[in-house]
Amino acid sequence: MGGCPFFFRCFKIMFNERSDKLELLRIADAVASEKSIDKELILDSMETAIQKAAKTRYGQETQISAKIDRESGNITLHRVLIVSEKPENTNVEISLEDAREREKNPELKVGDEVTELLPNIDLGRIAAQTAKQVISQRVRDAEREKQYNDFKDKKGDILSGIVKRLEFGNVIVDLGRTESLIRKEELIPREIIKPGDRIKAYCYDVRREIKGPQIFLSRSHPDFMSKLFSAEVPEIYDGIIEIKSAARDPGSRAKICVSSQDSSLDPVGACVGMRGSRVQAVVNELQGEKIDIVHWSEDPATLAINALAPAEIQKVVIDKENRKLEVVLSEANLSKAIGRRGQNVRLASKLMDYEIEILTDSEESERRQADFKEKSETLINNLELDETLGQLLVAEGINSIEEISQLGKDELSSVNGIDENTAEELKKRSEEFLKKEKSEIQDRLKNLGMDENLLNLKGLTPGMLLTLGEKKIKTIKDFAELASDELTGAYDEIKGEKVKLDGYLEDFALSKKEADDLIMAARAIAFD
């Protein structure tokens, strides 16, 4: 930038009284054209440079105004003076009387500004150097701002460029007007890239930085695959087919979910293309990544069956509130559904944004039996019932002591095998048990030293509070600093494997929204 001949010529003209001033305008035109920036910005920069340079001659405290005539290129310098009652510094102030006399304007008042014409003189080498720095910096800033404005709208698009160099596994891509970065983790694994290669990548972020706009590209992002399909499938580009979601295990396998606005058009077939030509073009760009194209459905069960193909599913149990699916299938289909190292079910889970648990029919049967036995024994042991009565209640869908206490005697006696006396006794025992349990919990909470504000937080049951206290979460601030995932549990991906992270209140079937609401209510109290 500093070595540009335009600028050397510019400095000579600005500080030489005998120079052709029209040359300044021609220089501004040339620089604006070369750098693709506004000519007016170049001229403003020149004026700022002249003002700054003039201060080296007239003093830094002096207010200087410089103006380049847009028609002739002539430069005029003015000293700016503030009208004052009692001027203390004549370099920056002028008396009201002198100002009115000089300007021939009796309406001037204190605080107004007047200007005084200064001679155009040779400002010297140091002033010229200062002007050079100002103009160079302003032009650089304008270039960077233009680059940012040019590329900020490219976020979400596929960009193409030439690999310039490799740095510590990262790839620097020359986009013509600027450079971009593909981080090591955003590359397709085992992909061989060399300087000079032409490469396509998805632009996922554009940031304004001091050293210029930073453009971040990715070849492993799921949207890279979606954009490639949009380029290969005209129906997607035209909006007839919509990509609902995408999930990738870069370089290995991917799933993409599509639906059609036209019921007569098969979205999966359109994406595959004649003899697989369309999908193969995307596969080639993704270095042979195997792509499953899934037909979208509003019904989570149908979508799960499509996403887990080729496995044949027997049953899907849906928990929409917690976004969980329980998929039941035969032993023969287990390995197909899970895939190599859990890849198939992991991609299906990402595609649907549901947590998917795979069970064989025998495992589901064992779970049901174990659940039935656990609930029956809870009723039998705590209410001192015989085995037959306990199992009868659970078989009728009455699974807890709380449910028994909430049911009326008529509802209980309507169960086959339970008369009015038995129903009344069940109600009595359940209420006594819950009262005793509540008292014991209150004593334990008191011994744990729980904060009164936390005890009174609406939505937390005594059982939840006891669990929190045992986990050393005893104050409203402790609770407010938690994240919802810490309460409900979550899944995290560690070294490519999905790992279950237990939640403090996971056993209480707390939804993510309920957890968020509790935490926000606690924060309102703790940080008020």
Query: How far is residue 93's CA from residue 87's CA, in Å, rounded to a whole number?
Result: 5
- Give the residue from 403, 399, 389, 325 showing the smallest Cα distance to 368: 399
pLDDT at 287 over 80: yes
Q: What is the mean pLDDT of the chain?
A: 82
Instruction: For residue 47, give both structure tokens.
Output: 């004026």
Q: What is the pLDDT of residues 220-235, one digit of tens each?
A: 999 999 999 999 999 9
Q: Which residue has the higher pLDDT, 100 or 291?
A: 291
Q: In the structure, what pLDDT confidence band is assigned to residue 51 with cuts at 50, 70 and 90?
A: confident
Query: How far is residue 267's CA from residue 316's CA, in Å, rounded to a whole number?
Result: 24
Query: Are 187 and 220 a contacting pair, CB within 8 Å?
Result: yes
Pairing of the two strands 214-218 and 179-182: parallel
**Amino acid 426: pLDDT:** 87
Pairing of the two strands 113-118 and 93-95: unpaired
Q: Which residue has the higher pLDDT, 78 or 30?
A: 78
Query: How far is residue 46's CA from residue 230's CA, in Å, rounded to a whole number?
Result: 47
Q: In the structure, what pLDDT confidence band is assigned to residue 129 with cuts at 50, 70 and 90?
A: low
**Amino acid 285: pLDDT:** 92
Give the mean model confidence (pLDDT) for residues 9-23.
Answer: 54
Query: Are 465 and 439 a contacting pair, CB within 8 Å?
Result: no
Please name each of the domains of the chain with its CATH number.
5-148 (3.30.1480.10), 153-220 (2.40.50.140), 232-296 (3.30.300.20), 449-528 (1.10.150.20)
Query: How far is residue 308's CA from residue 330's CA, in Å, rounded to a whole number?
Result: 13
> Which residue type occupies 257?
C
pLDDT at 413 over 90: no
**Amino acid 2: pLDDT:** 42
Q: Which residue has the higher pLDDT, 474 or 8?
A: 474
pLDDT at 3 over 50: no
**Amino acid 219: pLDDT:** 94
Q: In the structure, what pLDDT confidence band is assigned to residue 447 with cuts at 50, 70 and 90?
A: confident
Query: Are 78 and 47 a contacting pair, CB within 8 Å?
Result: no
Q: In the structure, what pLDDT confidence band is assigned to residue 405 with cuts at 50, 70 and 90?
A: confident
Give the mean model confidence (pLDDT) for residues 421-426.
Answer: 86
**Amino acid 23: pLDDT:** 64
Helix (H, G, I), strand (E, B) or coil at 262: coil
Q: In the structure, what pLDDT confidence band is assigned to residue 364 with cuts at 50, 70 and 90?
A: confident
Q: How many C-alpha atoms does 68 have within 13 Å on its Cβ side?
A: 28
Give the mean model confidence (pLDDT) for residues 480-492.
Answer: 83
Q: What is the pLDDT of residues 179-198, one digit of tens each?
A: 889 999 999 998 899 999 99
**Amino acid 321: pLDDT:** 78
Q: Which residue has the higher pLDDT, 366 or 75?
A: 366
Give the mean model confidence (pLDDT) for residues 404-414.
Answer: 83
Q: Which residue has the higher pLDDT, 487 or 39?
A: 487
Q: How many C-alpha atoms does 436 have within 13 Å on its Cβ side?
A: 9
Rounded to the nearest 5°, which phi and psi values hold at 298?
Answer: -70, -25
Give the mean model confidence (pLDDT) for residues 33-40.
Answer: 70
Pairing of the two strands 158-167 and 113-118: unpaired
Give the mean model confidence (pLDDT) for residues 407-427.
Answer: 83
> Which residue type occupies 470?
E
Query: Are 118 and 54 a contacting pair, CB within 8 Å?
Result: yes
